[in-house]
């Protein structure tokens, strides 16, 4: 008997996948082998249904389809920028909407992945920061972003040369280190050598500075690290990146110094948004260089990307160039990040969805109303 609702196999770790198969009646002794076969179909070939798994017995495929799905997030909209950047708005349930962005470049293709619907951090220059946290994304919703992008770009199998998605950055909506377990589980799947197979060197996790989780991220996730620094003095960083009040610059940089795996060949990226008249003086640039001394660092200057109602403006180009020159002279190469996808609100810090967290009481009232309405409908003469 198939259960009333089929559950998705996407996002399960290999052991959990084998356990699910055993739970659905697959004999214990073959569950692991079956899990491996499914893993290959799902993450190497991008199979979207069991029927397409041509080397597996028909009966087995039928059984799987009766119990499970390989459902991805639903694509609500797909937008393509005039510079080739693509943005998807995805939905996984009522009011659960989030964005994913693909940025093609000459030598790589980067997928910018969300970790939360909304955010708790309230960074003053960030559009996502104006959307309250709705909830953390689950591993299947995080991995699902890569699957949707590959489906849409025709980027399967994952082992083919010349793949379009070569890099993943956890720089979409949300703070990945406030959703540690799910992000860790998802990235383990993204970097699994027998599946999606992105090298950990091609995965970067960006944090606004959740200091107590940084070392754990290095040890347990092992991806590249990016830090949203954006200011060189605590008084200013307290205002524009409020998490600084909890974990000030010195603590943050000490955590970076101790980041497991950082080296001259695996540098930590420091992101610095250029806000006109706020953090863009040449004294700021010199202080930035001084602060980062001794840390294997790259600096990414990000021209501020505007959004409706934003309280800041982007620094003048001439000022960005002068700032960059000081940073360059200190030995940090090509630091200005070209804005991509601004015309479709896909650039850094522009992501936001309409999702709002419903209060439990509002949800209950809506459910009650729906129940009353459906009871009334069923009593109506047809």
The distance of closest approach from Cβ of residue 366 to ligand SAH in the complex, given in angstroms and rounded to an integer, is: 31
Which residue of the chain is nearest ligand SAH when measured via CB?
349
Closer CB to ligand SAH, 123 or 147, in the complex = 123
The distance of closest approach from Cβ of residue 228 to ligand SAH in the complex, given in angstroms and rounded to an integer, is: 4
Closer CB to ligand SAH, 155 or 175, in the complex = 175
Total count of residues recorded for the chain: 382
Q: Could you tell me which residues are beta bridge partners of residue 275?
A: 314
Using CA atoms, how far residue 138 sits from 113, 198, 318, in Å, is: 13, 20, 43
Distance of alpha carbon 113 from alpha carbon 138, whole angstroms: 13
CB atoms within 10 A of CB 372: 10
The 3-state secondary structure of 76-106, one letter per residue: EEEEECCCCCEEEEEEEECCEEEEEEEEECC
The distance of closest approach from Cβ of residue 159 to ligand SAH in the complex, given in angstroms and rounded to an integer, is: 29
Closer CB to ligand SAH, 31 or 101, in the complex = 101
Distance of alpha carbon 297 from alpha carbon 263, whole angstroms: 9
Closer CB to ligand SAH, 18 or 187, in the complex = 187
Report yes or no: 197 and 161 within 8 Å, Cβ to Cβ.
Answer: no
CB atoms within 10 A of CB 248: 15
Closer CB to ligand SAH, 17 or 231, in the complex = 231
Distance of alpha carbon 220 from alpha carbon 215, whole angstroms: 9
Closer CB to ligand SAH, 17 or 273, in the complex = 273
The distance of closest approach from Cβ of residue 334 to ligand SAH in the complex, given in angstroms and rounded to an integer, is: 17
Q: Rg of the chain over CA atoms, in angstroms?
A: 23
- DSSP classification of residue 43: I
The distance of closest approach from Cβ of residue 214 to ligand SAH in the complex, given in angstroms and rounded to an integer, is: 12
The distance of closest approach from Cβ of residue 208 to ligand SAH in the complex, given in angstroms and rounded to an integer, is: 4
Contacts 24+ apart (CB under 8 A), 310-313: 310/125, 310/127, 311/124, 311/125, 312/124, 312/125, 312/275, 312/276, 312/278, 313/275, 313/276, 313/277
Residues that bind ligand SAH (CB under 6 A): 123, 125-126, 171, 175, 206-208, 228, 271, 273, 302, 304-305, 348-349
Q: Could you tell me which residues are beta bridge partners of residue 111?
A: 102, 168
């Amino acid at each position: 008997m198939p259960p009333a609702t089929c559950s998705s196999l996407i996002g399960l770790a290999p052991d959990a996948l084998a356990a699910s198969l055993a739970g659905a009646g697959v004999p214990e002794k073959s569950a692991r082998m079956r899990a491996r076969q499914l893993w290959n179909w799902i993450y190497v070939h991008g199979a979207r249904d069991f029927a397409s798994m041509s080397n597996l017995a028909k009966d087995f495929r039928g059984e799987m389809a009766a119990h499970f799905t390989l459902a991805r997030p639903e694509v609500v909209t797909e937008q393509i920028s005039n510079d080739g950047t693509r943005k998807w708005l995805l939905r996984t349930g009522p009011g659960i909407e989030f964005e994913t962005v693909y940025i093609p470049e000459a030598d790589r293709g980067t997928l910018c992945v969300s970790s939360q619907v909304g955010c708790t951090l309230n960074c003053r220059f960030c559009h996502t920061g104006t959307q309250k946290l709705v909830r953390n994304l689950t591993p299947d919703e995080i991995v699902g972003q890569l699957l949707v992008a590959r489906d849409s770009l025709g980027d399967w199998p994952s082992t083919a040369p010349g793949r379009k998605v070569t890099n993943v950055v956890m720089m979409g909506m949300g703070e990945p280190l406030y959703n540690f377990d799910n992000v860790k589980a998802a990235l383990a799947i993204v970097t699994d050598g027998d599946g999606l197979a992105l090298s950990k060197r091609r995965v970067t996790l960006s944090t606004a500075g959740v200091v107590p989780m940084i070392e754990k991220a290095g040890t347990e996730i092992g991806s590249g690290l990016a830090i949203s620094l954006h200011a060189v003095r605590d008084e200013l960083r307290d205002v524009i990146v409020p998490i600084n009040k909890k974990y000030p610059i010195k603590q943050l940089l000490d955590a970076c110094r101790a980041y497991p795996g950082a080296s001259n060949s695996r540098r930590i990226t420091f992101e610095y948004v250029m806000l006109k008249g706020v953090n863009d003086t040449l004294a700021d640039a010199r202080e930035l260089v001084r602060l980062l001394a001794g840390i294997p660092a790259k600096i990414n200057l990000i021209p501020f990307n505007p959004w409706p109602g934003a309280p800041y403006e982007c620094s003048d180009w001439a000022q960005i160039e002068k700032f960059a020159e000081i940073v360059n002279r200190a030995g940090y190469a090509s630091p200005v990040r070209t804005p991509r996808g601004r015309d479709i609100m896909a650039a850094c810090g522009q992501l936001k969805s309409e999702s709002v967290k419903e209060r439990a009481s509002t949800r209950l009232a809506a459910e009650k109303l729906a129940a009353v309405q459906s009871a009334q409908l069923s009593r109506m003469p047809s």
